[in-house]
């Protein structure tokens, strides 16, 4: 099994004719993802790479191709409306890669999505991949290998590092999810852990956190009370000073809250194996699985 995406996922790309959209749509297609449609207003009737039809609206694309997932590469000022357009069209999984979406726009999106059953990953995220089956996003596919370690992370770059360490240990991944680093986003660390815990093919979970917010603590509470599988974690930003944003818009210590140490303590109390350094993740996974 897998989480959220598999070989049957039918992907449309909003913003497929832009520079980034076309590059990554092509990479997803080359990986084996079923890219069935693109959406760019006023470009309907054209073809992407001679085979993928382009539509003016998401609803037209869904009606014609039965797409059930969307990858968004729309500029920040239009991205919130693109998310809502996908949700209104019945798309079940929306992966918003775009970064720099205004916080107020995402507050509007969060409120509106209460009326929909879809799952939003992102924005400002690397996406999701089930190795060997489906890639939606910007992650390098070649470092992934089918296996039984689930990965969820707030950081794209750290996701890739964790995945590469797991692969280098001769293991593989079930599904890897980058939830994004903006203050307001869709899928949370806790919900991603829930999905991975429910997947029978996922035998261990790697969770990469960072300073700012309280998602790691909330995930730790859930892990302590519900999760039976081994969980390995790393929290980035231990040396970041209060009031300084580190990398992501959501990675900031404010009012003494959101520190790496507080998150590490909560995770350890929940029984999570916390890697002392980034380079220890792979070895901690091996130990957790008894390999």
Q: End-to-end distance of the chain based on CA atoms, in angstroms?
A: 22
Residue 172 has pLDDT above 90, yes or no: yes
Which residues of 63-170 form beta strands (DSSP E)? 69-72, 93-96, 119-121, 127-130, 134-137, 146-153
- Kind and range of the H or E element at 151? strand 146-153
Select the CATH number that applies to the domain covering 139-289 from these four: 3.30.160.620, 1.20.140.10, 3.40.50.261, 3.50.50.60.
3.40.50.261
Q: How far apart are alpha carbons 178 and 188 in whole angstroms?
A: 10
Ranges of CATH 3.40.50.720 domains, the chain: 10-121
Specify the 3-state DSSP secondary structure of 12.
strand
pLDDT tens for residues 132-162? 999 999 999 999 999 999 999 998 899 999 9
**What are φ and ψ of residue 154, in 5° steps?**
-85, -10
Residue 81 has pLDDT above 90, yes or no: yes
What value does the mean pLDDT take over residues 97-119? 96
pLDDT tens for residues 182-225? 989 999 999 999 999 999 999 999 999 988 788 999 999 999 99
Ranges of CATH 3.40.50.261 domains, the chain: 139-289
Query: Using 50, 70 and 90 to split pLDDT, how confident is the model at 237?
Result: confident
Find out whether the peptide bond into 73 is cis, omega within 30 degrees of 0: no
Sign of CA dihedral 60, 65, 70, 75: negative
Q: pLDDT at position 212, please?
A: 79
Report, as residue numbers or ranges, the catalytic residues: 248
Pairing of strands 231-236, 204-210: parallel
Residue 255 has pLDDT above 60, yes or no: no
Write out the two tokens for 147. Answer: 């296996």
Q: pLDDT at position 257, please?
A: 55
pLDDT tens for residues 23-73? 999 999 999 999 999 999 999 999 999 999 999 999 999 999 999 999 999
Q: Does domain 10-121 have CATH number 3.30.70.3340?
A: no
């Amino acid at each position: 099994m897998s989480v959220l995406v598999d070989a049957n996922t039918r992907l449309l790309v909003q913003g497929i004719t832009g520079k980034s959209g076309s590059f990554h749509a092509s990479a997803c297609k080359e990986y084996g993802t079923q890219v069935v449609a693109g959406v760019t207003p006023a470009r309907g009737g054209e073809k992407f790479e001679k085979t993928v039809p382009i539509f003016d609206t998401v609803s037209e694309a869904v009606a014609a191709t039965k797409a059930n997932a969307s990858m968004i590469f729309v500029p920040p000022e239009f991205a919130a409306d693109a998310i809502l357009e996908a949700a209104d069209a019945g798309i079940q999984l929306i992966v918003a890669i775009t970064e720099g979406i205004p916080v107020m726009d995402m507050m509007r999106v969060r409120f509106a999505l209460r009326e929909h059953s879809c799952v939003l990953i992102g924005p400002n995220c690397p996406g999701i991949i089930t190795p060997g089956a489906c890639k939606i996003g910007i992650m390098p596919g070649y470092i992934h290998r089918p296996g039984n370690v689930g990965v969820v992370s707030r950081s794209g770059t750290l996701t890739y590092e964790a995945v590469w360490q797991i692969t280098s240990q001769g293991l593989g991944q079930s599904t890897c999810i980058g939830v994004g680093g903006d203050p307001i986003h869709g899928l949370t660390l806790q919900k991603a852990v829930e999905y991975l815990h429910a997947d029978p093919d996922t035998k261990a979970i790697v969770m990469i956190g960072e300073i700012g917010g309280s998602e790691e603590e909330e995930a730790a509470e859930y892990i302590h009370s519900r999760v039976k599988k081994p969980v390995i974690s790393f929290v980035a930003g231990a040396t970041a000073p209060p009031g300084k944003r580190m990398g992501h818009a959501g990675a900031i210590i404010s009012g003494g809250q959101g520190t790496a140490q507080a998150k590490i303590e909560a995770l350890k109390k929940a029984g999570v194996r916390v890697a002392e350094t980034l380079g220890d993740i792979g070895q901690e996974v091996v130990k957790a699985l008894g390999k």
